[in-house]
Amino acid sequence: MKNGSSPRRRLHFDENSSRQEQVKGAFLFVVNRDIVNLYKRYINLVEDLQKDHSQFLKKVEKETSKEFANNIDYFDQEKYNYIRKKILDLGNEGIRDIEKFLNLIDMDFKDK
């Protein structure tokens, strides 16, 4: 397990679960995993942007002054944390919305 990561979630069904519950559970598991992977990628992009911004500020400081570079620095740790929190909140909100929607649906299956 990577440092700071959580253990992998496994898909498990109670033997008394109906087929509909199992399909909904499997669907939610896959959607949840994919949305989590998506917002991890967005966070990686924000980290890349923050590194690029830092490199830019070093160039600006070299050409001007440290004070000027500090004055134009808008992408500090506080801003990074704000963006990261927004990404996580939106991802979690999307997962909750999908779960609510799925709870409104009844499924029938044809036996072949």
Q: How far is CA 4 from the centre of its chain?
A: 15
Range of the domain at 98: 20-103
Tokens standing for 23? 């399909």
* Structural domain includes residue 27: yes
Write the pLDDT tens digit of every residue in 33-90.
999 999 999 999 999 999 999 999 999 999 999 999 999 999 999 999 999 999 999 9
DSSP, res 110:
-
Q: In the chain, what percentage of residues exceed pLDDT 90?
A: 64
* Structural domain includes residue 31: yes
What's the structural domain count of the chain? 1
**CA–CA dist 51, 101 (Å, integer):** 39
**CA–CA dist 73, 57 (Å, integer):** 7
Mean pLDDT score across all residues of the chain = 86
* Structural domain includes residue 1: no
**CA–CA dist 46, 52 (Å, integer):** 10
Stretch 102-111: mean pLDDT, rounded? 76
* Structural domain includes residue 38: yes
Give the pLDDT band of residue 21 (cuts 50, 70, 90). confident
Looking at the predicted structure, is the pLDDT value of residue 11 above 70? no
Amino acid sitting at position 108: D
* Structural domain includes residue 71: yes
pTM of the full predicted structure? 0.72
